[in-house]
Amino acid sequence: MNNIQAYNNWAESYDDVTNKTRDLEATAIRKVLGRKKFRKILELGCGTGKNTEWLLTRDGDITAVDFSGEMLAKAKEKITSEKVNFVKGNIKKKWKTTRPKYDLLTCSLILEHIKDLDFIFKQAYRVLRMGGLFYIGELHPQKQYVGSKARFEKEKKTVVLDCFTHNISDFTGSAIKNRFKCLEIRDWYDEDDKTVPRLITMVFRRLM
Ligand SMILES: C[S@@+](CC[C@H](N)C(=O)[O-])C[C@H]1O[C@@H](n2cnc3c(N)ncnc32)[C@H](O)[C@@H]1O
């Protein structure tokens, strides 16, 4: 099963089953971006719209992209605002936007599925305005080292998705190479386990 098929299968249960990573990332993005407002937002890997709903409170227009039709269908059931444009697309292919128009780009729990981070930062530079922010919330590399991967249960079987481990220096290296400045990096822990961080968040600013 490839990742598109896997996410199409996962969509039915994604919002309902216990998922500490999903929930911690929801907390993290809200704390990291706080009260900032944005005019134009690009959300990659919007999934069932967990963060799209909150991003709407940041006042801007949102383009929310995902390659899974079933995940997008779930998001569309929840979010009917005209300020959100849902787009089916694969972020590994050249992004369609032709000019720098967004002031926020978010990637929540999607980049572990992308091998070539450099391509993502290159595209990000193209579509973000100067000074625009790039927020990333990902499974922490330390959590990946101990075997954690995106996975779900289907008909009593565990489906494990195709994932890549990126070190923090892979993110910062690609960022610097593509003219981004790192503004902050934070580790996020489970309430009941302060040994290995579950999540990492990073915020980059697009330079000139
Ligand atoms: C773990 S889910 C996260 C969803 C949502 N951002 C959240 O935090 O709950 C990852 C999402 O990324 C999407 N995705 C994975 N690889 C993708 C790709 N190459 N292009 C577009 N979407 C992708 C999946 O379909 C899925 O909806």
Per-residue pLDDT tens over the stretch 179-188: 999 999 999 9
User: Looking at 28-32, 122-126, 149-153, 184-188, which range is the least confident one?
Assistant: 149-153
Angstrom distance (rounded) from CA 127 to CA 137: 19
Pick from 113, 136, 159 the residue to mutate for probing ligand 1's pocket: most ligand atoms within 8 Å of its CB.
113
- Confidence label for 161 from pLDDT (cuts 50, 70 and 90): very high
Q: Greater confidence, 146 or 98?
A: 146
87: domain range? 3-206
pLDDT for 97: 86
Ligand 1 centre distance from Cα of residue 35 (Å): 25
Which atom of ligand 1 is nearest to 7's Cα?
25
pLDDT digits (tens, 9 = 90+) for 14-54: 999 999 999 999 999 999 999 999 999 999 999 999 999 99
Domains held by the chain: number? 1
Instruction: Pick the atom of ligand 1 nearest to 92's CA.
Output: 19
Tokens for 123?
């595209």
* CATH assignment of the domain containing 51: 3.40.50.150
Q: What's the DSSP call for residue 193?
A: B
Mutate which of 41, 66, 93, 164 for ligand 1? The one with the most ligand atoms within 8 Å of its CB, which is 66
Res 98: pLDDT: 81
Please report the pLDDT score of residue 30 as a whole number. Answer: 98
Q: State the Cα–Cα distance between residues 175 and 171, nearest whole angstrom.
A: 6
Look at residue 72 in the predicted model and tell me its pLDDT.
98
Q: What is the rounded CA–CA span in Å between residue 8 and residue 173?
A: 33
Residues β-bridged to residue 107: 44, 136
